[in-house]
């Protein structure tokens, strides 16, 4: 009997495990779920979800606010957010050459209590997928994998902190949802039913979500209780195919309309049919399919109780973005058209190739071996270039071949152990720097086998043995092995341990060192006595003093202290002025910005550094030093700063009307800025930049000019902000400085990006992008445009010769066309690929003054228009449009 019960218990356990298993290949990730709560079975699907621990190395976990929880179920209740770093990535193991349906879910739910609408980019590997700008959204694509790994990255683009709730992958059959090129991005999916019921897994084996759509007045419902054969590859749920719609009037067409944004977007449609009625002997259901009046398919008759799918073999476009899909009854048909379900997808082109797979594997093995936890070492190592891993250089000049790693700098990275063999997978390395670590063991011979290697720096380690002769003899390679006290071989010669040459060397080195030490000591004493003679009897306090931490130490041992005269606040004063950080104004890469008062009356914005990173302190220091010495009506004023231990704060004058980006997008209020106001704002911004370039000694380059860094006070006066990346030209006559590339994608000067040479013309390029934004009110980067970058897009539109194609349509043509043309020409001049041919900011100011004068002279104030957004797809159904002849 006991054995019987053991058998029953074992059977029930196995049954439970089998039932808990997901369909083959399904990946269900509950982002932010605690490991102790993983896995669990979600309702109503019954799918098993697991924690994202192990799939991402960064981020913090959160949960949507209590008041939103009744509206959602697991797995959307938890989330992971990423306050640190620009790009944070999930890495998933997948099957190569597999067609996957991939879904990412974002539910903000005011998890942080800040009520800040999300706005960040979602990347698929090295390619942008979409911009997340809704509080509740599901992004879905269908994509064929090219490797055994897949990366989904969240990229910070402004004050909003990226987050994600759910990540799901479902493998599809290979021969469904096939495109000529590119991948598919979800547009809509509907089953024509008046039930109001949404259908997904387990009814849909691929977990597609089907929304119910129906127009009661003009349609009639067709249903069946019989089984509908749905085995045509697309495997539609029977609940989807057992209902359909036909026009109520048998002579009408069945119409489905939607809008595309931007209008030239390409798309694929999939219409699913099955005859649900038992037709009489003299009944015929036959129709043609047209798109915007043009013949697409037919004549077609649905098969009785059998699913068939009619699809586009080539992508379609709709003139002006308005799409009208019509099912038109043929003359011989006695019954109206019937449609059961429809799907539509836009074409998304992931054209940027991923880094060479072997080299990615190699660099990740290096990362794993040495436990490197650099926050930038996520996602693709080489591309896009603005997210290049720290310490790497790559070659991606040939867009038809995968990028390759050409340089690896891990100097002073705390490496221990031996040189890992994973490095030999980096077969295109030209430079390898492992200096100033604590590496041990012998120098491996395989380094000589990296044919392209030109520089190898192994100095400052603890290697033993001899340098391999193959490395010493490698032609054209520069080798540095100095500072390895136990290494018996130099780049010039190998000396066996204990021979005369080695003894001689060991004697000479201490003697030389001793003589050098004595010389240095004598020099130091002489200098001391000289200075002592010149020292005045009265001790004078210098006019400036070093900023110090509260304990008297330098705030960052690795950073030179900030020279300043005054305006320093204690942390307790910052707490008081912000009323214990009560009111949040926004969030940025630096940290959270709070509202406050100085002396109880003067309004200020207090920007707190979120973490005491060395890079954050560099930008903090740069901004304080700049703003304490420059003053201009179009630069945001610095009221003061706080540098107390780990508490860093910048205290600015308060800008009541936020940034220009908010007003252009309509998120600040429901009004769009008129053309005259826009010109005034960019003119004032240009004056601020012109002062940095010409009024400062030494001249300054801002390096991050963009609409979010143009702030507006209560009178809509524009002031340039965020000087953390600014650089000066300290040498008289110097035309450029060489720096690591910094800035914002889309605004970044391509010449600076290509050469690392920074000039004031780099700011001119970024300002040209700002000009195009205020002219077009278009995003800087939009992958759905024919030309994703705004500069290229405007260039194409200019060839059509009509300013209306470029100008923001919400202005309703309320502007002086001459001033617009002049502004467009100025912007395109700022974007000249050659920096030498771009105007100076002084010339830009003159041109903008003329634009504003032309606009003001036309008479009559421009009207502020309500902002109108057409980003979301508007899907409507009806029969009110008559068919058009072919």
Active site residue ranges: 704
| Contact criterion met (CB below 8 Å) for 562 and 643 | yes
DSSP secondary structure code for residue 339 in this structure: B
| Contact criterion met (CB below 8 Å) for 188 and 873 | yes
Instruction: Specify which residues 295 forms β-bridges with.
Output: 290
Sheet of 149-156: strand order equals 87-93, 149-156, 120-124, 127-132
Contacts 24+ apart (CB under 8 A), 43-48: 43/73, 43/74, 45/200, 45/201, 45/202, 45/207, 46/19, 46/201, 46/202, 47/22, 47/201, 47/207, 48/20, 48/21, 48/22
Q: Where are the beta strands (DSSP E) in 120-181?
A: 120-124, 127-132, 136-144, 149-156, 163-164, 166-172
607 is in an annotated binding site: yes
| Of 667, 564, 649, 562, nearest in space to 604 by CA | 649
**Pairing state between β 166-172 and 99-107:** antiparallel
CA dihedral sign of residues 211, 872, 264, 354:
negative
The set of residues, in sequence order, having a beta carbon less than 8 Å from that of 758 and lying 6+ positions away, is: 701, 703, 727, 736, 737, 738, 739, 752
Integer Cα distance of 173 and 149 in angstroms: 19
Question: Around 591, how many Cα atoms within 13 Å sit in the side-chain half-sphere?
Answer: 22
CA distance to 55, 62, 607, per residue, from 581 (Å)? 34, 21, 11
DSSP, collapsed to helix, strand or coil, labels residue 822 as helix
| Contact criterion met (CB below 8 Å) for 841 and 686 | yes
| Contact criterion met (CB below 8 Å) for 798 and 739 | no
DSSP, collapsed to helix, strand or coil, labels residue 531 as helix
CA distance to 132, 345, 780, 841, per residue, from 139 (Å)? 8, 12, 21, 41
Alpha carbon of residue 154 to chain centroid: 6
Counts for the chain of helices (H) and strands (E), in that order: 14, 47
- In degrees, rounded to 5, the angle at the alpha carbon of residue 794 between the alpha carbons of residues 793 and 800 is 105
- Residue 556: how many CB atoms within 10 A of its CB? 17
DSSP secondary structure code for residue 421 in this structure: G
Binding residues for ATP: 607
């Amino acid at each position: 009997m006991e054995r019987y019960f053991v058998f029953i218990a074992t059977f029930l356990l196995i049954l439970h495990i089998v039932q808990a298993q997901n369909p083959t290949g399904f990946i269900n990730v509950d982002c932010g779920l605690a490991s102790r709560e993983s896995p669990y079975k979600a309702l109503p699907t019954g799918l098993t979800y697991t924690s994202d621990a192990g799939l991402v190395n960064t981020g913090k976990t959160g949960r949507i606010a209590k008041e939103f929880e009744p509206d959602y179920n697991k797995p959307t209740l938890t989330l992971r957010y990423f306050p640190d770093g620009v790009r944070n990535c999930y890495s998933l193991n997948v099957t190569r050459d597999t067609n996957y349906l991939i879904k990412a879910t974002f539910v903000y739910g005011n998890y942080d209590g800040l009520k800040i609408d999300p706005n960040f980019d979602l990347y698929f590997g090295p390619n942008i997928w979409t911009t997340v700008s809704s509080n509740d959204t599901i992004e879905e694509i269908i994509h064929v994998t090219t490797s055994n790994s897949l990366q989904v990255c969240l990229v910070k683009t402004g004050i909003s902190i990226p987050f994600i709730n759910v990540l799901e992958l479902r493998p599809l059959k290979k021969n469904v949802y096939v495109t000529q090129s590119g991948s598919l991005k979800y547009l809509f999916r509907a089953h024509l039913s008046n039930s109001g019921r949404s259908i997904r897994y387990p009814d849909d084996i691929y977990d597609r979500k089907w929304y119910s759509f129906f127009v009661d007045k003009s349609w009639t419902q067709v249903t069946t209780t019989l089984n509908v054969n749905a085995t045509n590859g697309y495997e539609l749920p029977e609940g989807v195919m057992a209902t359909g719609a036909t026009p109520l009037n048998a002579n009408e067409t069945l119409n489905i309309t939607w809008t595309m944004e931007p209008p030239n977007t390409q798309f694929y449609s999939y219409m699913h049919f099955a005859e649900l009625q038992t037709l009489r002997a003299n009944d015929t259901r036959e129709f043609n399919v047209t798109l915007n009046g043009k013949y697409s398919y037919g004549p077609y008759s649905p098969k009785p109780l059998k699913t068939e799918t009619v699809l586009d073999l080539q992508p379609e476009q709709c003139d002006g973005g308005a799409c009208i899909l019509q099912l038109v009854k043929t003359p011989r048909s006695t019954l109206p058209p019937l449609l059961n379900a429809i799907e539509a997808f836009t074409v998304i082109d992931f054209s940027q190739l991923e880094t060479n797979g072997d080299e990615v594997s190699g660099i990740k093995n290096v990362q794993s071996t040495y436990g490197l936890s650099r926050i930038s070492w996520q996602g693709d190592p080489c591309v896009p270039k603005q997210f290049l891993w720290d310490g790497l250089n790559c070659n991606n000049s040939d867009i038809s071949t995968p990028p390759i790693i050409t340089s690896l700098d891990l100097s002073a990275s705390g490496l221990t152990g031996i040189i890992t063999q994973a490095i030999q997978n980096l077969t295109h390395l030209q430079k390898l720097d492992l200096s100033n670590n604590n590496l041990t063991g012998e120098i491996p011979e395989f380094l000589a086998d990296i044919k392209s290697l030109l520089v190898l720096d192994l100095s400052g380690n603890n290697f033993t043995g001899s340098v391999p002769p193959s490395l010493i003899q490698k032609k054209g390679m520069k080798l540095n092995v100095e500072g390895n006290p136990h290494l018996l071989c130099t780049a010039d010669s190998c000396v066996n341990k204990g021979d005369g040459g080695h003894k001689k060397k060991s004697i000479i080195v201490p003697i030389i060192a001793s003589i050098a030490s004595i010389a240095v000591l004598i020099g130091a004493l002489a200098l001391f006595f000289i200075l002592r003679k010149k020292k005045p009897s009265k001790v004078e306090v210098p006019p400036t003093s070093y900023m110090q931490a509260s304990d008297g130490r330098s705030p960052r041992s690795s950073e030179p202290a900030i020279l300043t005269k005054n305006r320093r606040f204690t942390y307790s004063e910052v707490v008081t002025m912000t009323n214990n950080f009560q009111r949040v104004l926004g969030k940025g890469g630096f940290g959270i910005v709070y509202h406050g008062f100085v002396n109880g009356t003067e309004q200020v914005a207090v920007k707190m550094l979120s973490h005491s990173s060395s890079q954050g302190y560099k930008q903090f220091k740069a901004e304080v030093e700049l703003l304490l010495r420059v003053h201009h009506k179009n630069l945001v004023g610095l009221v003061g700063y706080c540098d107390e231990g780990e508490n860093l704060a910048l205290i600015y004058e308060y800008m009541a009307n936020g940034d220009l980006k908010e007003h252009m997008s309509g998120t600040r209020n429901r009004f769009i800025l008129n053309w005259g106001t826009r010109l005034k704002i960019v003119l004032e911004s240009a004056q601020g930049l012109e002062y940095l370039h010409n009024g400062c000694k030494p001249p300054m380059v801002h390096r991050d000019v963009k609409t979010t860094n143009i702030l507006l006070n209560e009178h809509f006066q524009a002031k340039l902000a965020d000087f953390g990346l600014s650089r000066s030209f300290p040498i008289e006559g110097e035309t450029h400085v060489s720096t690591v590339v910094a800035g914002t994608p889309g605004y970044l000067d391509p010449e600076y990006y290509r050469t690392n040479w920074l000039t004031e013309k780099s700011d001119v390029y970024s300002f040209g992008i700002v000009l195009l934004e205020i002219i077009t009110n278009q995003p800087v980067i939009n992958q759905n445009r024919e030309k994703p970058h705004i500069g290229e897009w405007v260039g194409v539109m200019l060839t059509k010769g009509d300013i209306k194609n470029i100008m923001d349509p919400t202005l309703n043509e309320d502007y002086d066309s001459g001033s617009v043309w002049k502004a467009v020409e100025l912007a395109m001049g700022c974007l000249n690929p050659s920096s030498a041919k771009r105007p100076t900011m002084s010339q830009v100011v003159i041109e903008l003054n003329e634009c504003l004068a032309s606009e003001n002279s036309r008479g009559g104030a421009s009207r502020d228009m309500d902002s109108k957004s057409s980003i979301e797809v508007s899907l409507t159904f009806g029969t009110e449009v008559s068919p058009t002849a072919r």
